[in-house]
Amino acid sequence: MILLLDIGNSAVKWATLDDRGDDRGDDEDTLTCVGSRVYRPEGIGSVAETCWRGLSPTRPTRIVASNVGGDALAKDLCDWTQATWQLEVSFLRPEAQGYGVKNAYRDPTRLGADRWAALVGAARRSHGHLCVVDCGTAVTIDALSADNTHLGGLIVPGIRMMRHALVAGTAQIRYTSGAGASLLAVDTGSAVAGGTLYAVVALIDRVVADLSRELSGAVTILLTGGDAALALPLLNGVVEYEANLVMHGLAVVAKTATQAQVAEAQVAE
């Protein structure tokens, strides 16, 4: 069993993957024990102890992770996995080209590991031009052409971050969690909720419209992330929602590594 980890800026998601090295086609069928939890401020070690120690009757054989939470968090995670399972963590590193995807970044290593994993997952299911949108703490938008060439992307504050920034940066604007979002609000809380949501939706729609003209073809929005459900009903065009897109990318990486290890073993024999 392989443990897959998607470590974001404030929360961690996980899933397990069968490690038999066979290719049964759809990665979605092989993901089990999917879960998520906010890890700040308690720390990744506390989440690991509570949520992962009893994931399976047998301990993981490998751990593959996407981490944008920083080096200190990575060290805490490695300390726990070593103490608990005597296992190292394989952290995903973006490449210039890999897993069928060509990276557009001048320095490929500067692309976020979560964005790289999402692109790998998107490429496995791609049948045309895609706009891969992750609505999390930040909103990331990445264009992927029909031949799985990454064209570049954008990063803006996420919906909740915008709301917090408005409250922190003004004297009289107040917002409480749970305020309803509407097109034209009649109270300040709803105006903040609606304005920040429509800002993200309008950005996505405009990028897709411009990208469609540039590529001379239809562009499908592939949506993921914790706040994706807020934007989903308001977006124009063709939209596909995949809650575990990063996990599917990590699954591709993990299975590719497993198949390579099997091939090496066969050569050695």
**Catalytic residue numbers?**
114
Residue 209 phi, psi dihedral angles, 5° rounding:
-65, -45
**Which tokens sit at 121?**
């997952």
Residue 54 phi, psi dihedral angles, 5° rounding:
-105, 30
Q: What does the DSSP 8-state code read for residue 109?
A: G
DSSP for 184-210, please give it.
Answer: S-SSHHHHHHHHHHHHHHHHHHHHHHH
Q: Who contacts 241 (Cβ-Cβ below 8 Å, separation ≥6)?
A: 223, 224, 228, 229, 232
Half-sphere exposure of 211 (CA within 13 A, CB side): 27
CA distances from 42 to 47, 73, 100 (A): 8, 11, 38
Would you call 240 helix, strand, or coil by DSSP? strand
Instruction: Lay out the sheet containing 31-38: strands in order across.
Output: 31-38, 11-17, 2-7, 62-67, 90-91
